[in-house]
Structure 1
Amino acid sequence: MSALEAWRAIPQTQEIVDYFRGIFDIIGVTIEETGEQLTIAIEESRILIKEGLPAKPDFIVPLKWENVENMVSHSKYGKIEAHESWRIVSVLFTSLTQATLYNPIMASDIGRRISRVEDLAHVYLIAPGGHEATCHTLAYLKKQWLVIPGLYGKPKRTFRITAEESIEYQRRAFRAIKKNSFNEWWRFSRWYKSWRKTVSVKH
């Protein structure tokens, strides 16, 4: 079975569609073991999955076959529970964050200073119950952001966020990127500074 066939078999309930809505509009997915290249697009009441990469994806997500199987397992009943949500976000976190931070405004010194974003941070994506975490390092070097799996360096800020908080951040950032207006970026900056106080500690 291909990834295309496996994912098309997932029940497309409104809950599944709404879970991904606002996180992205259209992405490309590559599967390491099979070499498959897929397009995933959020439509009004369904998720379109087809062969080939989109011409203008919001971002590209490289996956392994185990991620394909896990996605099927996590959503096979047409809904996504809290622990399944954490596992999904754990897989998508690096690509989502990189794509967001690669935006010219997010990557600029001006944008970083307006939001008062530190140039080295550790991020813990906490599983329900708090016994597991996926960890990443965010580093700003040579006017670009690096999102590195694992923890490196001495952070200036440490984030501890749940899957739901990560999704909220992505939706807010993605909306600002899509609208790309001064007012929208200003709203995002104000929201981010308030949100950051609830999920992080400055060192």
Structure 2
Amino acid sequence: MLFLCFGMFLIILSVLAFFRNRSVRRSEDATEAFWSREYESNHIRKKDISDLSYIEIPLDALPLHVCSSERCISLESQLTALAGKKIVNLSNLSNTDLKLTYGTANLTVLSEYDQNFTQLSNLLYSYGKELEDNGFHREAIQVLEYGISIHCDASRLFVFLASLYQKDHATDKIRALIEEASALSPLLRDATVKQLEDLLNGADAS
């Protein structure tokens, strides 16, 4: 009996060692692959970036100057200033991806363009919320819908817009938002879709 228990113990140790070694190998392979790509990316020559999908803020199409609160005026000023800058959504690409695709020399400027996109996403959410808080419901929806149209991936923008649709009992529009949200990054997708589905269920029940 003692011999049998000892044998089982050795088998368990062997299995654990096998899985541990496999995990270590996978981790080492992943690390090696990362540094290999990073080394390669640092030797990519500067490439033309004129064909990127630059975003133009349609100041004439957005509902500006309808709200006179200080916060609205400040946000409008920030949007106007941002409209004069280059904006690109590169959130799905890592720095290594950017260097491999467009060259190391473009990393700084591309990071700036992507930061401008993040700023735009935040401004659209804040401006839409300020409009809604001041009674400009239709205008708030217009601003947030523009954010969705340029693929802003801010979860709170999706959820807030869906809450406005819920007020209007616009269930079809919430369903369309859920479809759009399923293309978000895995880190945001599941939680965002769950919140949108809850709002949809609330709209259906009311």
Superposition TM-score tier, normalisation by shorter sequence: under 0.3
More strand by share: 1
TM-score (norm 2): 0.26
Task: Give the number of the structure whose alpha-carbon radius of gyration is greater.
Answer: 2
> Which structure has greater helix proportion?
2
